[in-house]
Amino acid sequence: QVQLVESGGGLVQAGGSLRLSCAASRGTFSAYNMGWFRQAPGKQREFVASITTGGGRTLYVDSVKGRFTISRDNAKNTVYLQMNSLNPEDTAVYYCGASARVLSRSPDNYFYWGQGTQVTVAS
């Protein structure tokens, strides 16, 4: 069973940047497709980005394309989300998830989740 711990959230001004990290322990990190999701108050969990086991393929929600970059380092058992040009609409709790299924935008395909890290973008 994979355990995931997110870090790197915080308060940033609009236009700023943050890099989120998700460190995995237990299980075989390199066997899982990884995803980042976010959930704002009163809203459902939303797909942000995902990456295949070897990092060769990525998916993004349209609203973050060109601003966010997902990457992974299997040697460090860590997946990252580099977020640039942040705006207040990006404010949410960000979660990473691990999936043993095909690369997916659906949270239903992710079996393991971290506890989340808060990102707040001030206007």
Q: Any bridge partners for residue 49, and if so which?
A: 36, 60
Q: What pLDDT is attached to residue 75?
A: 96
Work out the pLDDT band at 35, boundaries 50, 70, 90: very high
Q: What pLDDT is attached to residue 66?
A: 97
Asked if the model's pLDDT at residue 79 lies above 90, the reply is: yes
C-beta of residue 51 within 8 angstroms of C-beta of residue 58: yes
C-beta of residue 122 within 8 angstroms of C-beta of residue 88: yes
Q: What pLDDT is attached to residue 82?
A: 98
Query: How far is CA 78 from each of CA 4, 25, 30, 52, 91, rounded to the nearest angstrom?
Result: 9, 9, 9, 13, 23
Q: What pLDDT is attached to residue 65?
A: 98
